[in-house]
Structure 1
Amino acid sequence: MSRVICPNCSRPQKVCICNFIKSIDNRVEIAILQHPAEVKQIKGTAIIAQLALTHCKTWVGEQLSELPGLVTWLTENKNVFLLYPEIDNQVKECQVFDVGQIEHSHDFKVLILDGTWRKTFKMMQLNPELQALNRVSLTPTEQSKYRIRKQKDSQSLSTIEAIYELLSQLENSTEKFKPLLSAFEKVQNQQFIFREKE
């Protein structure tokens, strides 16, 4: 017997997360480039942003050459920043800005890579266009609370935590984006309950 899949969050009905989501009208536009392995990853968190944020686009793939829609988005009239830490041998023209250095206006948007550290690093290596984007760096206000998936290190954040930190700092409003963390906590609790029943 086939599982019933929620048409909105694309998860099996028994682990549907739609009731956890509150719509948020974010001013700073977000785009997510998701590694294909993350699409059906039940522990993934990008889905929370995709469902909650009114200005959020998602593309799935490893190489920009296969994603003309994303290429167009990157070259449209707004400045694009990539949320990604500094790495060795990064393009010299690439500048890294702290969140506080970016003007709080409508003339920029942010791209986020969704995947494990190893997979996002590979995506960076495959795409010189990504390496050339100016970066925005985060100083998290608190450590990750990601309990259902192993993190690279104590400074790492899940995708949804990174988006929360980014938007709450860029738009100077932690309360506005707290529903992202609330949904994140509920999704994790749901996973623990589901595991206990197995």
Structure 2
Amino acid sequence: MTHAVSRLRDERLARSTKPFVARGSRAPRCPDCRVIFSYCLCAWRPSVEANSAMCLLMYDTEPLKPTNTGWLIADVIKDTYAFGWSRLEVDPELLALLDDPQWQPYIVFPGEFVAKERVVTQVRRDDGKRPLFILLDATWTEARKMFRKSPYLERFPVLSLEPEQISRYRLRRSRRDDHFCTAEVAAFCLELADDSQASSVLDAYLDVFSAHYLGAKFQNPIDPDDTAHTQLKAFL
């Protein structure tokens, strides 16, 4: 596995002064999907085209967590970039990406916490630029800190999502049902950008990942013919 999130994970591990041990990590895990080998979902990793790109700003240990769903985004969306976030230092490659004229960056964040003149609810399709969605991959408290303390993002419009559905993510729960995991947010963004097929595939892949992860945790059987698995079969 060589995508942006896996490389960031390797870099973060190299800087660690002690081993990172995730909860429930006694059984060996597949290094490519982070699920124990008997429930590995690598065979279910889909391939789908998308015009949109994703830029993940990841808080400290997020790349190390086996439940992190930014990894799923990088599995599905070819143009996914991942950077560790720091209040004091900004990766020059991140700044170069944001300045690249082929992209129209959108920082994805709830509009209720942002000045109204910065907030948009639609993705532009008439300027010839490809959308680059900047996702703050962190807990809600951490994401608010990242948003406030990243002045290099202040020049970009804030895409505020207004989804009707309740979060389906079952691995790490927020206290609020309207807080979505990173992969769910990415799927909403893809839908707004008319990357509907990629959005549906990412949603299904998240469901498959959750089923395999929880199946491993509780020793439940996997149904390869359920709705999510069946939807992915056309994209393997």
Q: TM-score, normalised by structure 2?
A: 0.71
* Correspondence for 1:70 among 94, 106, 117: 94
Report if aligned partners of 1:64, 1:71 keep a CA contact under 8 Å in 2.
Answer: no
TM superposition shift of 1:103: 2.3
Cα distance in 1, alignment partners of residues 95 and 175 from structure 2: 29
Report if aligned partners of 1:5, 1:13 keep a CA contact under 8 Å in 2.
Answer: yes
Is 1:135 aligned to 2:158, yes or no? yes
| Aligned length, in residue pairs | 193
Task: Find the counterpart in structure 2 of residue 161 from structure 1.
Answer: 184
Please list, as runs of the form range in 1=range in 2, the aligned pairs for 1:96-115 lying within 5 A after superposition: 96-99=119-122, 102-103=124-125, 106-107=128-129, 108-115=131-138
Segment of structure 1 superposing worse, 4-13 or 108-117: 4-13
Task: Find the counterpart in structure 1 of residue 73 from structure 2.
Answer: 49
Is 1:82 aligned to 2:107, yes or no? yes
Report if aligned partners of 2:35, 2:212 keep a CA contact under 8 Å in 1.
Answer: no
Report if aligned partners of 1:141, 1:165 keep a CA contact under 8 Å in 2.
Answer: no
Task: Find the counterpart in structure 2 of residue 182 from structure 1.
Answer: 204
TM superposition shift of 1:156: 1.6
* Correspondence for 1:39 among 23, 48, 63: 63
Cα distance in 1, alignment partners of residues 181 and 27 from structure 2: 28
SS in 2 for 1:79: strand
TM superposition shift of 1:163: 0.7
Is 1:26 aligned to 2:62, yes or no? no
SS in 1 for 2:180: coil
Runs of 4+ aligned structure 1 residues displaced above 3 Å come to 2-17
TM superposition shift of 1:83: 0.8
Task: Find the counterpart in structure 1 of residue 215 from structure 2.
Answer: 193
SS in 2 for 1:121: helix
The alignment-based identity, stated in percent, is 19
Report if aligned partners of 1:144, 1:155 keep a CA contact under 8 Å in 2.
Answer: yes
SS in 1 for 2:172: coil
Amino acid at match of 2:172: R
Report if aligned partners of 1:80, 1:110 keep a CA contact under 8 Å in 2.
Answer: yes
Task: Find the counterpart in structure 2 of residue 123 from structure 1.
Answer: 146
Amino acid at match of 2:107: L
Post-superposition Cα deviations, 1:120-139, rounded to whole Å, max 9, x if no partner, equal 11112221122342111212
Report if aligned partners of 2:110, 2:160 keep a CA contact under 8 Å in 1.
Answer: yes
Q: TM-score, normalised by structure 1?
A: 0.83
Gaps of 5+ in 1: none
Is 1:150 aligned to 2:150, yes or no? no
Cα distance in 1, alignment partners of residues 84 and 38 from structure 2: 25
TM superposition shift of 1:112: 1.0
